[in-house]
Amino acid sequence: MDTSKIYSSGVLNKGEEITDCFQGKCHISNDMANGLIVFTNRRFIFLRKPPGLFTKGYNVVLFSSWGDIVSVSTTGLISKKLHLSIQKENGIVVHKLSCDKVEDVAQRILRGAISSLHSCIADMFFLKIAFNDTRLLLATS
């Protein structure tokens, strides 16, 4: 899929890169909106084209950093749906998504969330080493 229009739309943050992209639908206010399920190195995003005939760019409908994803599940036998639970300031919000490759999207979301967790653990480990090295330097000074 050509992602150049996503890059030029300005919805990505500095240093953010698209790792995968799927056509999909997101349940918004009792309606299923067509759009793009976008994976970046930092977050999950659902984009949709603004209404109108001569519109350009995308509207961000839903986004989450990988660390805020609480759970991912799939439902349905024929018409598969993806349920994505995201931690927000006021609690957990569940979003319903659908696409041709629901299982692939669910696996990709899980990989992003696990990768974020590994990164967080590694950061904590290196902070502990840096803290202990600083204490050692102070003790020997």
| pLDDT tens, position by position, 21-41 | 988 888 877 778 889 999 999
pLDDT of residue 18: 92
Please give the residue range of the domain that contains residue 106.
4-140
- Rounded Cα gap, residues 1 and 22, in angstroms: 8
**Which of the four pLDDT bands, split at 50, 70 and 90, describes residue 45?**
very high
Q: Which residue, 117, 6, 92, is CA-closest to 57?
A: 6
Mean pLDDT, range 41-53, rounded to an integer: 88
Q: How many structural domains is the chain composed of?
A: 1
Is residue 122 predicted with pLDDT exceeding 50?
Answer: yes
pLDDT of residue 136: 45
What is the Cα 27 distance to its own chain's centre? 16
Q: Say if pTM beats, i.e. exceeds, 0.85.
A: no
**CATH code (residue 88):** 2.30.29.30
